[in-house]
Amino acid sequence: MQMIIYLFSIWANGESKYGDVVPAGVLYMPSGEKYINANRNIDNENLKNENNKNNKLKGFVLSDSVIIESMEEGKKKIFIPASLDKENKPTGNVLTIGQIGVLKEKIDSILKEMAEELLKGNINAYPVKGKDYEHTCEYCDYKDVCNIEEYDKRKEIKDRDFTEISTTMLCKDGEENG
Q: What's the pLDDT tens digit per position in 74-126? A: 877 888 999 999 999 999 999 999 999 999 999 999 999 999 999 999 887 77
Under 8 Å CB-to-CB from 98, ≥6 apart: which residues? 177, 178
Report the greatest alpha carbon distance in the chain: 61
| Average pLDDT along the chain, 178 residues, taken 10 residues at a time | 92 95 90 74 84 84 95 86 93 95 93 94 80 77 78 76 75 48
The answer to whether the beta carbons of residues 88 and 65 sit under 8 Å apart is: yes
Backbone phi, psi, residue 27, to 5°? -130, 140
Identify the DSSP state of 33: -
Under 8 Å CB-to-CB from 37, ≥6 apart: which residues? none
Q: How far is the CA of 163 from the CAs of 52, 64, 76, in angstroms?
A: 22, 18, 20
Q: What pLDDT shows up at residue 172?
A: 56
Q: What pLDDT shows up at residue 104?
A: 94
